[in-house]
């Protein structure tokens, strides 16, 4: 199927994808772009009005719903001005709200879920021809997202999905109900995708899953994830490997050993805590307790003393007392996270926690959240100050927060994922054109809670990724005939 050219210009219709939510949504949005490219559409140029706007939604927190409907309402004047503008809503909130989206926003043309990403171009075409909204929500995965074509957003780094779905039943989380049970990709498919990306200049991959270290559960191999990490170490040209997000329940010593001994697996670990109180962890159905969590951190740091550990924490879960909250603060003090994503608990309809007794008042949640953030920020600042005067390796990245022209710096990530803003002028006074993907060595000259300044630029290594960024050549994959594990392979005739 190909798109219908614009009647006035003869050009293919253009699209824009707006992503809300987690890294899995970012991964899926790259697939939306790849599908639309393959169908003959083209990405809209900056500053231009697209013919199609696709929202990839999140449903984890209540404000995600508010953000979507607020953004949709802002499109009403554009839709009235240009009735040919098509609006599509996909992702977790689409899977959850389904037809309610059309009821609340009748000008939306397409609603599709998390299990049928590949249907997007067909639904857009059907909506255009029939001049009526299209809703298609499947209850189980149709096509593994990673087998679909993709247009990547960065030249130097890429998300690579190892699994989709989740088998956990955390009482605050709606994701398993919307993403389904865990489905694992075959190791060879994952490694082949990574090799193709590296051939296109990608230097860094992040292995992605709702519970990434449970990888292998579907085909009964408890060592599958550690073996996958080690196999990544054998791929020439792959300089950095990360993964997110693991679950403490499934975090095993063989994964720690693989991290410590595989040269390109970065000394970084994001491991959600959620609460430091054993009582609250039990109410959350988090199948670990404080001692086990801190034991994992102790073993990680024994194997990788310089590892940066980050986490997720919820304040104000139903029934949380001040004593429970103090337990969380104690774990934060002991763990010394380099950073933390902190969230105020909000009810999500459809989750067990939403109907639990002893809901914590909003003002109490807010107070606890502020105290948690204050403590964590002070720890992060103290930990970052330890890097003053040290040399770090930084891979220049895109969209990391500072305007180069205003600061004379570029932004990127150190090996442990700390954010660094690096001078473009080296210690000899030579200014360099540093592109995303280029790798530099610089000395840390200032430390703040959330970033470094590294104004002593020592060395610069230009890369193929930087060349590709400069030329506008983003990595892409055409899609593969991969299949879900446990399903028969269908041979083309």
Structural domain count of the chain: 3
Does pLDDT of 486 surpass 50? no
**Cβ–Cβ under 8 Å, residues 179 and 173:** no
Looking at residue 127, its pLDDT comes to 95
Whether residue 63 is found in the same domain as residue 174: no
Residue 361 makes CB contacts below 8 A (sequence gap 6+) with none
Whether residue 46 is found in the same domain as residue 92: yes
Does pLDDT of 67 surpass 80? yes
Give CA–CA dist 100/106, Å, rounded.
Answer: 9
Query: CB atoms < 10 A from the CB of 84, how many?
Result: 12
Give CA–CA dist 277/330, Å, rounded.
Answer: 10
Whether residue 55 is found in the same domain as residue 169: no
Residue 184 lies in a domain: yes
* Rg of the chain in Å (alpha carbons): 23
Give CA–CA dist 225/216, Å, rounded.
Answer: 7
Looking at residue 403, its pLDDT comes to 56
Does pLDDT of 420 surpass 80? yes
Looking at residue 7, its pLDDT comes to 44
Domain boundary among 266, 281, 300: 266
B/e letters for 28-50, b = 16+ CB within 10 Å, e = fewer, are bbbbbbbbbbbbebeebeeeeeb
Does pLDDT of 240 surpass 80? yes
Whether residue 78 is found in the same domain as residue 160: no
Domain encompassing residue 451: 391-473
* Nearest partner of 186 among 232, 231, 140, 219, judged by Cα: 219
Residue 283 makes CB contacts below 8 A (sequence gap 6+) with 171, 317, 318, 319, 353, 356
Query: Given pLDDT bands bounded at 50, 70 and 90, which one contains residue 400?
Result: low
The whole-number average pLDDT for the span 432-440 is: 96
Whether residue 126 is found in the same domain as residue 201: no
Residue 328 lies in a domain: no
Strands (E), 139-250: 150-151, 157-161, 163-164, 183-184, 204-208, 240-244
Kindly report, residue by residue over 11-40, the tens digit of the pLDDT: 679 999 998 878 888 888 998 999 999 999
Domain boundary among 238, 266, 294: 266
Q: Is 207 helix (H, G, I), strand (E, B) or coil?
A: strand
The whole-number average pLDDT for the span 466-471 is: 94
Residue 423 lies in a domain: yes
475 vs 391, more confident: 391
Residue 189 lies in a domain: yes
The whole-number average pLDDT for the span 223-231 is: 97
Give CA–CA dist 26/203, Å, rounded.
Answer: 18
Whether residue 169 is found in the same domain as residue 127: no
Partner residues linked to 56 by β-bridges: 19, 90
* Nearest partner of 440 among 470, 403, 395, judged by Cα: 395
Whether residue 100 is found in the same domain as residue 199: no
Strands (E), 4-85: 14-19, 42-43, 52-57
Looking at residue 318, its pLDDT comes to 98
Does pLDDT of 57 surpass 80? yes
Residue 247 is part of a domain; what is its CATH number? 3.30.750.210
Query: Given pLDDT bands bounded at 50, 70 and 90, which one contains residue 438?
Result: very high
Looking at residue 8, its pLDDT comes to 47
Whether residue 130 is found in the same domain as residue 174: no
Whether residue 94 is found in the same domain as residue 167: no
Does pLDDT of 492 surpass 60? no
Looking at residue 11, its pLDDT comes to 64
Query: Given pLDDT bands bounded at 50, 70 and 90, which one contains residue 470?
Result: very high
Residue 214 lies in a domain: yes
Q: How many residues make up the chain in this entry? A: 493
The whole-number average pLDDT for the span 274-300 is: 97
Residue 409 is part of a domain; what is its CATH number? 2.40.50.140
Segment of 16-30, 177-191, 436-450 carrying the highest mean pLDDT: 436-450
Kindly report, residue by residue over 87-123, the tens digit of the pLDDT: 999 988 889 888 899 999 999 999 998 888 999 999 9
To which residue do tokens 């006074």 refer?
429
* Nearest partner of 182 among 214, 207, 208, judged by Cα: 214
Whether residue 81 is found in the same domain as residue 22: yes
Residue 275 lies in a domain: no
Residue 280 lies in a domain: no
Q: Is 430 helix (H, G, I), strand (E, B) or coil?
A: coil
Whether residue 76 is found in the same domain as residue 189: no
Looking at residue 490, its pLDDT comes to 24
Residue 308 lies in a domain: no
Residue 34 is part of a domain; what is its CATH number? 3.40.50.12160
Percent pLDDT > 90 in the chain is 72
Does pLDDT of 192 surpass 60? yes
65 vs 364, more confident: 364
Max intra-chain CA distance, the chain:
67
Give CA–CA dist 3/19, Å, rounded.
Answer: 22
* Nearest partner of 159 among 100, 89, 62, 242, judged by Cα: 242
Give CA–CA dist 95/98, Å, rounded.
Answer: 6
Half-sphere exposure of residue 117: CA atoms within 13 angstroms, side-chain side: 31
Does pLDDT of 326 surpass 90? yes
Whether residue 24 is found in the same domain as residue 111: yes
Kindly report, residue by residue over 158-178, the tens digit of the pLDDT: 999 999 889 999 999 887 778
Which has the minimum average pLDDT: 79-88, 144-153, 217-226, 340-349?
144-153
Domain boundary among 266, 296, 317: 266
């Amino acid at each position: 199927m190909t798109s219908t050219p614009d009647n006035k210009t003869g050009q293919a219709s253009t699209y824009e994808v707006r992503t809300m939510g987690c890294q899995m949504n970012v991964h899926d949005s790259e697939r939306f772009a790849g599908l639309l490219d393959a169908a003959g559409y083209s990405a809209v140029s900056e500053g231009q009005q697209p013919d199609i706007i696709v929202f990839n939604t999140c449903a984890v927190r209540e404000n995600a719903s508010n953000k979507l409907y607020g953004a949709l309402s802002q499109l009403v004047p554009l839709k009235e001005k240009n009735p040919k503008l098509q609006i599509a809503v996909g992702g977790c909130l689409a899977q959850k709200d389904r037809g309610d989206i059309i009821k609340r926003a009748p000008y939306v043309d397409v609603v599709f879920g998390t299990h049928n990403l590949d249907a997007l171009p067909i639904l857009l075409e059907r909506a255009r021809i029939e001049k009526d909204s299209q809703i298609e929500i499947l209850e189980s995965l149709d096509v593994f997202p990673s087998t679909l074509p993709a247009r990547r957003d960065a030249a130097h780094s890429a998300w690579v999905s190892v699994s989709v779905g989740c088998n956990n039943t955390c009482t605050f989380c709606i994701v398993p109900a919307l993403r389904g049970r865990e489905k694992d990709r075959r190791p060879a498919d994952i490694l082949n995708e990574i090799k193709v990306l590296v051939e296109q200049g990608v230097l860094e991959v992040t292995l992605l899953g709702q519970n990434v270290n449970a990888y292998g559960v579907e085909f009964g191999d408890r060592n599958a994830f550690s073996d996958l990490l080690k196999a990544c170490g054998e791929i020439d040209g792959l300089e950095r490997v990360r993964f997110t997000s693991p679950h403490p329940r499934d975090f095993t010593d063989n994964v720690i050993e693989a991290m410590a001994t595989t040269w390109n697996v970065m000394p970084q670990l994001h491991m959600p805590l959620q609460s430091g109180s054993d009582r609250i962890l039990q109410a959350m159905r988090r199948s670990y307790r404080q001692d086990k969590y801190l034991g994992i951190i102790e073993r990680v740091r024994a194997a990788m003393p310089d590892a940066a550990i980050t986490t997720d924490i919820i304040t104000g879960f139903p029934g949380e007392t001040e004593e429970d909250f103090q337990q969380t603060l104690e774990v934060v003090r002991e763990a010394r996270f380099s950073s933390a994503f902190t969230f105020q608990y909000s009810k999500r309809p459809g989750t067990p926690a939403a109907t639990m007794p002893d809901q914590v008042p909003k003002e109490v949640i807010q107070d606890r959240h502020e105290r948690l953030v204050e403590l964590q920020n002070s720890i992060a600042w103290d930990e970052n100050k330890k890097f003053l005067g040290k040399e770090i390796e930084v891979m220049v990245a895109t969209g990391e927060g500072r305007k180069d022209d205003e600061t004379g710096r570029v932004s990127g990530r150190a090996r442990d994922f700390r954010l660094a803003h690096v001078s473009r002028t080296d210690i000899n006074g030579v200014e360099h054109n540093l592109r995303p993907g280029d790798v530099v060595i610089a000395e840390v000259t200032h430390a703040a809670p959330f970033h470094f300044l590294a104004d002593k630029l020592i060395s610069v290594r230009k890369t193929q990724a930087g060349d590709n960024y400069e030329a506008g050549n983003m990595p892409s994959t055409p899609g593969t005939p991969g299949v879900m594990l446990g399903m028969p392979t269908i041979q083309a005739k």
